[in-house]
Amino acid sequence: MTRSAPQLIHHGLTTCEGCSMEIIARAMMRVLGPRTIVITPPSCSAIITGYGRETGWMVPAWQSNLENVAAYAAGIRTGLEVTGQEEINVVGFAGDGGTVDIGLQALSGAVERGHRFIYICYDNEAYMNTGIQRSGATPKGAWTTTTPEGKREGKKNIIGMLLAQGIPYAATASAGFVDDFERKIAKASKIDGPSYIHALTPCSTGWRFPASQTITMSRLAVETGVWPLFEVKDNIVHITHKVKELKPLVEYLKLQGRFRGLHEDEINAWQEQIKVNYTAFLDKEGKSWLC
Ligand SMILES: Cc1ncc(C[n+]2csc(CCOP(=O)(O)OP(=O)(O)O)c2C)c(N)n1
Ligand code: SF4
Ligand SMILES: [Mg+2]
């Protein structure tokens, strides 16, 4: 959609080879353009924000704490409103740990107050920057350094929580469907209130797969029904990528070292759950999220 738009993130960053967080960040900036202020917390996204006087962003960028990306975004937006600069985009760009766990209070508060800002959670399903610790977004069964036998709990449904709060726009995205992500960013930037996009960003370092497989992994998550693509605007659901025939879950799992410890019966149970959930999901098209 916006391949010819100017790049607003410098090259030569020290993210890992094939990092899909960087792919998503670059796409986000192609859509939002130079009239944008970015806030990142401590995380792999801070690799873009940089240290001292050097930054990879070619727009104003701010490094917050892990707890308060959304509070910074809300404050910056309020300042822009007071000074009459309302056309500037304000975007929080945070990882899953900084979103579903440590930054949740600030996010929930900013959404409740209705500030106009875009919040992107790039979800690599663990605290990667500090050494692959489990987060609330890590899926059940996944190995991390703090779940050496596989995580016992399931993934937190943050989109459901924000929609329950009445957020006007929320969507999922995947680094393997960049056009879909870009359309959602464009929509989010037009919302007169808070908007939230949760992008699955496979991480070869933490998920234990070859870096060359990043896009394959991002697409397989969607094609197996593990990560459905949809948006909810003003409480109405729109499925943005329908999968006619789901690929077997095992195609997604077998490429990742973090699921090596899963037993066959656990994989079968997960597969069955996906089938049930995906049928219910397809039935949601055009309907209210909160029935
Ligand atoms: C309150 C607080 N706790 C812990 C840390 C240490 N810390 C820095 S980055 C990070 C990982 C963040 O994980 P996530 O938000 O998922 O982003 P990722 O590293 O995966 O990109 C942690 C735990 C911190 N900076 N602040
Ligand atoms: S650890 Fe993962 S998210 Fe972080 S820079 Fe490397 S590939 Fe990207
Ligand atoms: Mg993370």
**Domain limits of the chain?**
20-282
Provide the Cα torsion 245, 202, 74, 187; round to 10°: -40
pLDDT < 70 stretches in the chain: 1-2, 291
Q: Is 272 exposed, middle or buried (0-12, 13-18, 19+ CB in 10 A)?
A: exposed
Dihedral sign of CA atoms 140, 142, 144, 149 in order? positive
Structure tokens that stand for 258 in this block: 């973090």
Question: Could you tell me if the CB of 98 is within 6 A of ligand 1?
Answer: yes
Q: For 148-277, where are the E strands, in sequence order?
A: 169-174, 194-200, 229-233, 236-241
Which two structure tokens, joined as six digits, stand for 72?
């910074």
Looking at residue 5, what is its pLDDT?
84
Take atom 3 of ligand 1 and give the residue whose Cα is closest. Answer: 66
Q: Could you identify the residue written with the tokens 């703090």?
A: 146
Identify how many contiguous H helices and E strands the chain contains and give both numbers: 10, 8
User: What is the whole-number distance in angstroms between the Cα of residue 123 and the centre of ligand 3?
Assistant: 6
Distance (Å) from CA 127 to ligand 2 centroid: 10
CA of 104 to the centre of ligand 1 (A): 13
Token digits for 285?
């098209």
Closest CA relative to residue 280, chosen from 249, 239, 247: 239
DSSP E strand boundaries for the chain = 36-40, 61-63, 89-95, 117-123, 169-174, 194-200, 229-233, 236-241
In terms of residues, how long is the chain?
291
pLDDT on residue 290: 86
Nearest CA to ligand 2 atom 8: 19
Report how far apart the first and last C-alpha atoms of the chain are (Å, whole number). 34
**Domain 20-282: CATH superfamily, name plus number:** Thiamin diphosphate (ThDP)-binding fold, Pyr/PP domains (3.40.50.970)
Query: CA Rg, the chain, in Å?
Result: 18
Residue 146 Cβ inside 6 Å of ligand 1? The answer reads no
203 with 17: CB under 8 angstroms? no
Would the CB of 124 count as within 6 Å of ligand 2? yes
Does this model's pTM top 0.95? My answer is yes
Distance CA 271, CA 82 (A): 51
Task: Please report the pLDDT score of residue 251 as a whole number.
Answer: 98
* Predicted local confidence at residue 1, as pLDDT: 57
Please report the pLDDT score of residue 6 as a whole number.
83
Mutating to test ligand 2, I would choose from 23, 26, 49, 128 the residue with most ligand atoms within 8 A of its C-beta, which is 128
pLDDT at 196: 98
Residue 257 is classified by DSSP as G
**How many other C-beta atoms can be found within 10 angstroms of the C-beta atom of residue 16?**
17
133 CA from centroid of ligand 1 (Å): 9
Residue 165 CA to its chain's centroid (Å): 19
Q: How far, in Å, are 53, 91, 174 from residue 124 at the CA level? A: 28, 19, 11
Distance CA 19, CA 206 (A): 11
Ligand 2 atom showing the smallest separation from residue 122 Cα? 3
- Tell whether ligand 1 has an atom less than 6 A from the beta carbon of residue 97: yes
Tell me the CA distances in angstroms from 279 to 37, 57, 157, 243, 274, one per residue in order. 40, 41, 18, 11, 8
Closest ligand to the CA of 69: 1
**pLDDT for the residue 58:** 97
In the block, residue with structure tokens 């990667």: 128
What is the reported pLDDT for 181? 98
Nearest to 147 by CA among 124, 123, 126: 126
